[in-house]
Chains A and B, each alone.
Chain A
């Protein structure tokens, strides 16, 4: 069934990520074919979709970790298909990314992890670095954990420290890769509130890749739903809930069968059972 994406036309100049007719394949298998997508500047944008639909690949394309095979891809005005390595690194200084497991440097303390980008990219005096790091740790509620090592943190605390590290250079874009995986309800609530609060306080653009429909709907300004390597729906969480398309209803309602089938493609069930009986 052909699905008409409900993508709203956005102001081109306002888009922080602008993807046009993008193709990307891994090992000959197309992940995206002719993908068109815009993420507006400011606000929290959730990128959702069934597993294996290319959400994390989209993040890797946006952050320049992989390069598209064809099409146009601009992030904060930079053409990622033509960017030099040095310019890509300059762009990344304007980005912060929260990895699924936090990705803290295990040989550095919490304080040093947050101070890491400052030490690498600036010549700020130690007193100023200390003040900045403590401010960011205070923002995520972990100033008291500054001297702990990553191995002493819970999953939720690790992600909050990683969040403090991601915002320490005051980025324009903050990217979250599955930030709620494996968190207890308290940690999940904390991360949710931080996503919203940091976005509003810092005036940045947040992109959140997540499966958690209910949770992310409470903080996202808009949702982009990917399926089969395409944008199948785009709108506010409220608009998504009343979207009539089968894919959206299956995903938002958590239905086990639908356009994304419950069964992996297989030969006829009874035929296979009977054949097995005859062989026996």
Chain B
């Protein structure tokens, strides 16, 4: 039992080292990949624009739930006017970055991993190497950057739609005063709160994209291997996002 745990711990450390080495390899190749803005733009579209519907729908429903729950709680203390502040703070600092990252891992992360895994399984990566084209520059870095850039943008959209959802339930349905909702939000939510959300979503973007590209690029070139890489991407991303969220929240306190 202890031996198993020790072996598992050592395996995890080795894997972490491999991921860090892969990240360094991508960063070293960044100057060669950056001029290929067309490839990066394509990946921002793939990871970002194609995730918009799920992000907007989820943001709306999360915001509506916040409006409902927040209203129920705040009215007990006669503070329902603070609903705007509660919803905005919750969304901008916490729910926006975290839920966006979880959804990103499920949609864009899994798509990235399976795409790269299939490229490996069908010899497309080997073919690039044989054509003297470095797949790290041509394939991995643009996908990594696409995810890193898309994540904060998606998070911002999630927060905006979420606040609209909270307003829809709180103001339109529950009758909270519209002026109080917006003015209290503007008075209480500062740049520090927004910065916290931006920093979190940027770091989640790096983590999710790195995990997806790493897992896909190193997938065993079989149908089973690609499936495992995709599953590992989603599971690892979810755990890492929540762990990083705790660390970042503690750091910002």
Contact = CB atoms under 8 A, between A and B. Distances in A.
Interface of A: 63, 65, 89-90, 92-93, 95, 97, 99-101, 103-106, 116-117, 120-121, 162, 165, 169
A26 B127 CA distance: 22
Interface of B is mostly: helix
Contacts of B119: 106
20 contacts: A65-B126, A92-B132, A95-B130, A97-B130, A99-B123, A100-B123, A101-B122, A101-B123, A103-B123, A104-B124, A104-B127, A106-B118, A106-B124, A116-B133, A117-B131, A120-B131, A120-B132, A120-B138, A121-B133, A169-B131
A99 B133 contact: no
A89 B132 contact: yes
A163 B113 CA distance: 28
B129 interface: yes
Interface of B: 118-119, 122-124, 126-134, 138
A99 B131 contact: no
Contacts of B134: 89
A117 B123 contact: no
A255 B243 CA distance: 62
Contacts of B130: 63, 65, 92, 95, 97
Given A92-B130, A120-B138, 7 more contacts: A63-B130, A65-B130, A97-B127, A97-B130, A117-B133, A120-B132, A165-B131
A103 B133 contact: no
A99 B126 contact: yes
Nearest to B139: A105
Given A103-B122, A106-B122, A120-B138, A90 B127 contact: no
Nearest to B46: A107
B174 to A, nearest CB: 48
Contacts of A99: 123, 126-127
A106 B120 CA distance: 12
B126 A116 contact: no
Contacts of B131: 92, 116-117, 120, 165, 169
